[in-house]
Amino acid sequence: NKILVTPSSSSYPIYFSQNFDHILEALHHHNLLHRKVCIITDHTVDSYYGNQLMDVLKRSYDDVFKFIFEAGEENKHLNTIQDMYKFFIENHLDRNSLIFALGGGVTGDMAGFAAATYMRGIPFIQVPTTLLAQVDSSVGGKVGVDFLQHKNMIGAFYQPTFVYVNLSTLKTLPQKQLSSGIAEVIKHGLILDDNYFSFVESSTDLVFDLDEAILEKIIQRSCELKASIVSQDEKELGLREILNFGHTLGHAIETLLNFELLHGECVSIGMVGAAYLSYKKNLISWEILKRIEKVLQSYHLPIRINQLESEEIYQQMLLDKKVKNNKIKFVLLSSIGNAVRVGDLNEELIKSSISYLKSDVQ
Ligand code: NAD
Ligand code: ZN
């Protein structure tokens, strides 16, 4: 099973499997044997899957190195990247070497950034192990780190040679992390595909039971949807912006809470804010807003935020790298399955959506 992503700079496949064994065939197919390889992973993922991937790779590679860092968004920083560069140099990795990003979005974003910049770029493979990374962050070529108070402020567009999804890694993923990934899945349905949204809406129990057929279907469909957008607009010159649905508010909240909530949880709250704005602009009905909230809740995602002041959320949004001339760009919905980009919402309206996020759930 595979899906092809075709951005203008290069085209690459996403392979699906239930284990790591088939990765060697893919590496062979892409002419990537006979070189030094380095797995990049965090301590948690290493404890579950580090040796599994290592053992498979050792069947075909003589030199397999492993760089392990402390898990968590707070380590998605240049310091960790510097440690990676030092490790690469110490082990004589060169332009011919190959990097494996084994883990969630934090690992993929950092390993990809290190691969993009070390010696002006060495090839890398995404092996995503969180639902979020499988449905979202491993596809599309955005790599990078946080800097000071800013999410993903330093980075590059750099495509992996391929993505290898081992679906069975989800068995060890904590439920909160599963929900966090589902937030991006719900996003894909909301902005691009109403049937898919309905399917996800009615699959809660099966998803939490880790039903393999359902998860495979979800991951494939989300990858397809994201791949089609990225293929049309690799560098986010226009269309790709719709993938930021829920992220304008979401990133601000994520930063202000200092990563107390997971990425998908913040995106969930942000999507409610954006859906509320869509309602206020007469684009969607109150019933649709409530339907969206209900689906998010059914997946144990937060839909309100009480911890923060409205003004600080607004000010943080203004700091986002996508803000130009103090105009905050929003992605709204014109219906379930259709997104519209707007750049001219006034301050008062935006603040009303923040107030809504601080109100009680009705
Ligand atoms: P993460 O990489 O921190 O993983 C979450 C936690 O789950 C970590 O503690 C990790 O150790 C653990 N974990 C990972 N796989 C596991 C498994 N199979 N079993 C048990 N535990 C496991 O975070 P994430 O949620 O995967 O990704 C969030 C990051 O992705 C954010 O930094 C966000 O900015 C980024 N992101 C990037 C893009 C992109 O396009 N590049 C898109 C969306 C999100
Ligand atoms: Zn996201």
**Domain 175-209+226-358 = CATH 2.40.110.10:** no
Any idea which ligand is nearest the CA of 71?
A: 1
Task: Please choose, from the candidates 36, 30, 27, the residue with its C-alpha nearest in 3D space to the C-alpha of residue 67.
Answer: 36
- The token pair at 344 is 């001219």
Q: How many CA atoms lie within 13 A of 241 on its CB side?
A: 16
Average pLDDT of the residues in 195-214: 96
Known catalytic residue: 92? no
Average pLDDT of the residues in 150-155: 91
Average pLDDT of the residues in 69-87: 96
Average pLDDT of the residues in 119-137: 97
What is the rounded CA–CA span in Å between residue 6 and residue 352?
Answer: 40
User: Is 80 exceeded by the pLDDT of residue 7?
Assistant: no
Any idea which ligand is nearest the CA of 135?
A: 1
**Which pLDDT value is given to residue 8?**
67
Residue nearest to atom 35 of ligand 1 (CA): 105
CA dist 271 to 69, 83, 138, 302, 349, Å?
A: 31, 36, 21, 10, 16
**Model pLDDT for residues 35-50, shown as the tens digit of each residue:** 999 999 999 999 999 9
Q: Give the start-to-end residue ranges of the domains of the chain.
A: 2-172, 175-209+226-358
Strand partners, 340: 332
**Is the CB of 105 within 6 Å of ligand 1?**
yes
Region of 331 please: left (phi>0), alpha (psi -120 to 50) or beta.
beta
**Model pLDDT for residues 303-355, shown as the tens digit of each residue:** 999 989 999 999 999 988 778 888 899 999 999 999 999 988 999 999 999 99
Average pLDDT of the residues in 22-34: 95
What is the rounded CA–CA span in Å between residue 308 and residue 134?
Answer: 31
User: Is 80 exceeded by the pLDDT of residue 5?
Assistant: no
**Which pLDDT value is given to residue 362?**
82
Average pLDDT in the chain = 95
Tell me the pLDDT band of 9, cut-offs 50, 70 and 90.
Answer: low
Q: Are 183 and 271 in contact (CB under 8 A)?
A: yes
User: Is 90 exceeded by the pLDDT of residue 15?
Assistant: yes
Hey, CA dihedral for 92, 93, 96, 98, is it positive or negative? positive
Percent of the chain past pLDDT 70, that is, above it, reads 99
What is the rounded CA–CA span in Å between residue 177 and residue 131?
Answer: 8
What is the rounded CA–CA span in Å between residue 354 and residue 362?
Answer: 16
Q: Do domains 2-172 and 175-209+226-358 have the same CATH topology?
A: no
Average pLDDT of the residues in 217-245: 92
Q: Are 119 and 38 in contact (CB under 8 A)?
A: no
**Is the CB of 180 within 6 Å of ligand 1?**
yes
Q: Are 113 and 81 in contact (CB under 8 A)?
A: yes
Class of domain 2-172: alpha beta
